[in-house]
Amino acid sequence: MDWLNAIVQGTLLGGLYVLFAAGLSLIFGVMRLVNIAHGDLIVLGAYLGLTVTTTVGLHPLAALVIVVPAMGLIGYALQRGLLNQTLGDDLLPPLLVTFGLSVILQNGLLELYTADPQKMDAGALETASVTVGGLTLGVLPLLTFGFAVAVIWGLQWTFYRTGLGRAFRAVSDNQDIAQLMGLNRRHIFGLAMALALAVTAIAGILLGIRTSFDPSIGGGRLIFGFEAVIIGGLGNLWGTLAGGVILGVAQTLGAKIDPGWQILSGHLAFLIILAIRPNGLFPRIAA
Partner 1 sequence: MPDPILQMRGLTAHYGDFQALYGIDMHVDPGEVLAIIGANGAGKTTLMRSVTGLLRNGANQIRYRGQDISRLRADQVARRGLAMVPEGRQLFPSLSVKENLMIGAQVGRKGPWDLGAVYRLFPILDERKDQQSISLSGGQQQMVAIGRALMSNPDLLLFDEISLGLAPIVIKDIYAALPGIIKDGMSAIIVEQDIAQALKVSGRVYCLQEGRVSLEGASDKVTREEISRAYFGIA
- The residue ranges that bind partner 1 (CB under 8 A) are 163, 166-167, 169-170, 172-174, 176-184, 286
Identify the H or E element spanning 194. helix 185-210
Rounded least distance, CB 187 to partner 1, Å? 9
Which is closer to partner 1, CB of 26 or CB of 178?
A: 178
Which is closer to partner 1, CB of 182 or CB of 278?
A: 182
Which is closer to partner 1, CB of 167 or CB of 196?
A: 167
CA gap 241, 233 in Å, rounded: 10
Rounded least distance, CB 132 to partner 1, Å? 40
Which is closer to partner 1, CB of 204 or CB of 239?
A: 239
Which is closer to partner 1, CB of 114 or CB of 184?
A: 184
Which is closer to partner 1, CB of 92 or CB of 180?
A: 180
CA gap 131, 4 in Å, rounded: 14
Rounded least distance, CB 154 to partner 1, Å? 19
Instruction: Provide the sign of the torsion angle of the four alpha carbons 117, 121, 123, 124, taken in this order.
Output: negative
Rounded least distance, CB 284 to partner 1, Å? 9
| Secondary structure (3-state) at 42 | helix
Which residue blocks in 82-138 are alpha helix, DSSP H? 92-113
**DSSP assignment of 196-240, as one string?**
HHHHHHHHHHHHHHHS-B-TTTHHHHHHHHHHHHHHH-TT-HHHH
CA gap 244, 183 in Å, rounded: 33
| Secondary structure (3-state) at 136 | strand
CA gap 284, 261 in Å, rounded: 31
Rounded least distance, CB 88 to partner 1, Å? 14
- Which of 226, 259, 228 has the alpha carbon at shortest distance from 246? 228
Which is closer to partner 1, CB of 10 or CB of 235?
A: 235
Rounded least distance, CB 282 to partner 1, Å? 15
CA gap 286, 169 in Å, rounded: 10
Rounded least distance, CB 278 to partner 1, Å? 22
CA gap 172, 82 in Å, rounded: 19
